[in-house]
Amino acid sequence: MRINENTLLEGRRVVLVPYEREHVPRYHQWMTCPELQKLTASQPLTLEQEYEMQRRWREDDDNKKRWADPRVAEEDCMVGDVNLFLTDSEDPSLGEIEIMIAEPKDRGRGIGKEVARMMMCYGITRLGIHKFEAKIGKENQVSLALFQKLHFQEVSYSEAFQESTLELRIDEEHEKRLAGDRSLMEEKNYRETKAAIRPETAVHPRI
């Protein structure tokens, strides 16, 4: 995460911020939910293990962010998780994307699609990614439908893990399709933006 540790991405309805230590308790609470564990193929961790995981993510060179509603304090308004991992050291143009909407009230509102497109734009323009992958469990039909709407195609299926691998190669047509999203997303310095928040409100300014 070193390459983007101070990056904040502001979209139309969501703000993506780096995964900080103060976000860990909320994330840990989410991941005690059996449904989310199943949908994300995750094993429950202790709070101490989650803090250690956060520390390691901060020191990695891949991309991991939380998204937040800018009207309230970050740790109180987190609704999900988005990751963009650089998984192949021999192919830096490949990125694996993951999305989770943890809060039930925020599902079905188009947030996942907006966040996915924001992260894809960032990956293409800032990280030089030209191919995206998403690995999704068979029972996670919502995520499968989301990525299919984004023109991902299934390239393989693992019977052992009950998991599909979907892929999207970025060509000129996809570049044009994503071009409109770039104008709706603003990149800012996370530290400077956070420092500008008045302590009595703890609200992210929306410019």
Strand order in the sheet with 15-18: 153-158, 163-169, 131-137, 94-101, 78-85, 63-68, 15-18, 7-10, 186-189
Task: Let me know if residue 206 belongs to a domain.
Answer: no
Do 49 and 27 form a contact (C-beta atoms < 8 A)?
A: no
Residue 152 has pLDDT above 90, yes or no: yes
Bigger pLDDT: 196 vs 47: 47
Task: Let me know if residue 203 belongs to a domain.
Answer: no
pLDDT in tens, 166-176: 999 998 887 77
> What Cα–Cα distance (Å) separates residue 78 from each residue in 24, 53, 85, 114?
11, 18, 20, 15
Residue 132 has pLDDT above 90, yes or no: yes
CATH number of the domain that 67 lies in?
3.40.630.30
Task: Let me know if residue 200 belongs to a domain.
Answer: no
pLDDT in tens, 47-62: 898 888 888 776 764 4
Question: Smallest Cα–Cα separation from 133: which of 89, 88, 102?
Answer: 88
* Pair of tokens at residue 12: 């139309």
φ, ψ for residue 183, nearest 5 deg = -75, -15
Bigger pLDDT: 10 vs 168: 168
Task: Let me know if residue 23 belongs to a domain.
Answer: yes
| Residue 149, domain extent | 2-184
Range picked from 10-14, 34-38, 111-115, 151-155 for highest mean pLDDT: 151-155
pTM: 0.78
Bigger pLDDT: 135 vs 73: 135
What's the structural domain count of the chain?
A: 1
What confidence score (pLDDT) does residue 167 get? 97
DSSP per-residue codes, 69-102: -TTS-HHHHEEEEEEEE---TT-TTEEEEEEEE-
What confidence score (pLDDT) does residue 195 get? 61
* Pair of tokens at residue 24: 């860990």
Rounded Cα distance, 152 and 169, in Å: 8
Q: Residue type at 41?
A: A
136 strand-pairing partners: 164
163 strand-pairing partners: 137, 158
Task: Let me know if residue 170 belongs to a domain.
Answer: yes
What confidence score (pLDDT) does residue 158 get? 95
Which DSSP symbol is given to 34?
Answer: H
Task: Let me know if residue 196 belongs to a domain.
Answer: no
Residue 199 has pLDDT above 60, yes or no: no
